[in-house]
Amino acid sequence: MSSNKPQAEAALFVAFNALLIRDLHVYFRSRGTWLNPLVFVLMVITLFTLGIGPDPSALSNHASGIIWVVALLGIMLSLDALFRADFDDGSLEQLLLSPQPLYLAVLAKVLAHWFITGLPIVLASPLYSLMLGIPADVIPVLALGLLVGSGILSFIGAIGASLTVSLRSGGLLIALLTLPLYVPAIIFGSQFVQSAIEGWPLMPTFSMLLGLLIGAIVLAPIAIIGGLRLSQDT
């Protein structure tokens, strides 16, 4: 028995890696999945500046809030695709039936989705920070906050995605379910940027963001598994 144990542990991560790589392949082959959220974010930021007016000081005053809300919307709107295709072609059912632990499978799926939607939004953050007139030395802080925060948004949003995957019209319902849960992330996220702009200590808000991320990674898969299981009942 004892000699089998390391092998079993290795097999766990073989399945995790296989699922991660498979999902990344699928996403990369459809350009819309990673490009659309990014284009959406850039467009909405353009609309915000048109709505607020061209005054640079008014824009930079609201920049942290705007960027966080827009990033949140971009990630949230892309979440409907997280389990949808797998649900439609039946591979989700196979995943639920497989002997591998679902916890790791869910982690792999959400991580792959984050690589494709959250990470591009983080990587493009210098671009739209400059559009909104955020000071250049704050941009790394904003990117770091978004890096942690987009993970929180992906994991919490995946709960909404799993609960609505068997419904034909899940999009708006995901928003209704997840937006109240996003409140802590957006508060600490935009506070983090604000602290950098004002020169306040960064660690308190950053540790709160990290704590939220850890909590989301540990707890959200439990709810996601429940949601995915019930999607097979209908």
Partner 1 sequence: MASWQWFHRLGSPKWLSGTIDRWLPWVLGLGSVLLLVSAIWGLAFTPPDYKQGNSFRIIYIHVPTAIVALAAYYVMAIAGAVSIIWRMKVADMALRAIAPVGAALTFLALVTGAIWGKPTWGAYWIWQDARLTSMLLLFFLYLGIMALHDAYQNSASGNRAAAIMSLVGTVNIPIIYKSVDWWSSLHQPATLKFTEESTIATEMLQPLMLAIPGAYLFFIAAVMMQLRVQIARNEKNTRWMAERAAQ
The residue ranges that bind partner 1 (CB under 8 A) are 159, 163-164, 166-167, 169, 173, 176-177, 179-181, 183-184, 187-188, 191, 208, 212, 215, 219, 223, 226-227, 230-231, 233-234
Write down the least CB distance from residue 189 to partner 1, Å: 11
Q: In angstroms, rounded to a whole number, what is the distance separating the alpha carbons of residues 109 and 14? A: 14
Residue type, 107: L
Write down the least CB distance from residue 179 to partner 1, Å: 7
Identity of the residue, 12 or 176, whose beta carbon is nearer to partner 1 in the bound complex: 176
Q: How many residues does the chain have?
A: 234
* CA distances for 153 relative to 16, 110, 197, 210, angstroms: 21, 11, 23, 12
Identity of the residue, 36 or 232, whose beta carbon is nearer to partner 1 in the bound complex: 232
Identity of the residue, 131 or 175, whose beta carbon is nearer to partner 1 in the bound complex: 175
Write down the least CB distance from residue 34 to partner 1, Å: 27
Identity of the residue, 48 or 188, whose beta carbon is nearer to partner 1 in the bound complex: 188
Burial class (CB in 10 A: 0-12, 13-18, 19+), 212: buried
Q: How many H helices and E strands in the chain?
A: 11, 0
CB atoms within 10 A of CB 132: 20
Identity of the residue, 21 or 219, whose beta carbon is nearer to partner 1 in the bound complex: 219
Q: In angstroms, rounded to a whole number, what is the distance separating the alpha carbons of residues 63 and 57? A: 10
Write down the least CB distance from residue 197 to partner 1, Å: 14
